[in-house]
Amino acid sequence: MPDTPKLRIFMTGVGGQGTLTATQLLAKAFLSEGLPVTAGEIHGMAQRGGVVESMLLLGLSSPKIDHGEADILLGFEAIETVRALPYLKPGGVVLSSSEPIWPVSVSMGKAATPDLDALRAKVESCASRTLYIPAQSMGVQAGAAQSGNLALVGALLGMNIVPLSASAMERTLKENLKPAIADINIKALRLGLDAASQT
SS3 96: strand
Q: What is the pTM of this model?
A: 0.90
What pLDDT score was predicted for residue 129? 96
Rounded to whole angstroms, the Cα distance separating 4 from 60 reads: 9
Give the DSSP letter of residue 72: E
For the chain, how many structural domains are there in total? 1
User: Does a structural domain hold residue 46?
Assistant: yes
Residue 98 CB-density burial (10 A; 0-12 exposed, 13-18 middle, 19+ buried):
middle
Q: In sequence order, what are the residues at sequence separation of 6 or more whose Cβ sits closer than 8 angstroms to the Cβ of residue 61?
A: 38
Establish if 75 belongs to a structural domain. yes
The pairing of strands 88-97 and 70-75 is parallel
Q: Is residue 164 part of a domain?
A: yes
Please report the pLDDT score of residue 16 as a whole number.
Answer: 74
Does residue 2 lie within any of the structural domains?
no
Per-residue CA distances from 195 to 4, 24, 74, 143, 182 (Å): 27, 23, 15, 17, 20
Q: What angle do CA 129, 22, 60 make, to 5 degrees?
A: 70
Residue 123 lies in a domain: yes
Domain assignment of residue 1, yes or no: no
Structural domain harbouring 17? 7-197
CA distance 177 to 183: 9
Distance of CA 37 to the CA centre of its chain: 16
Q: The domain spanning residue 61 has which CATH number?
A: 3.40.920.10
pLDDT at residue 182 in the model? 97
3-state secondary structure 47-65: CCCCEEEEEEEECCCCCCC
Q: How far is residue 87's CA from residue 35's CA, in Å, rounded to a whole number? A: 23
pLDDT along the chain (199 residues), means of 10: 79 86 95 92 60 91 90 94 96 94 56 77 94 96 95 97 96 97 97 92
| Domain-located, residue 177 | yes
pLDDT of residue 117: 87
Give the pLDDT score at 104.
Answer: 52
Q: Could you tell me if 76 and 152 are in contact, meaning their C-beta atoms sit under 8 angstroms apart?
A: yes
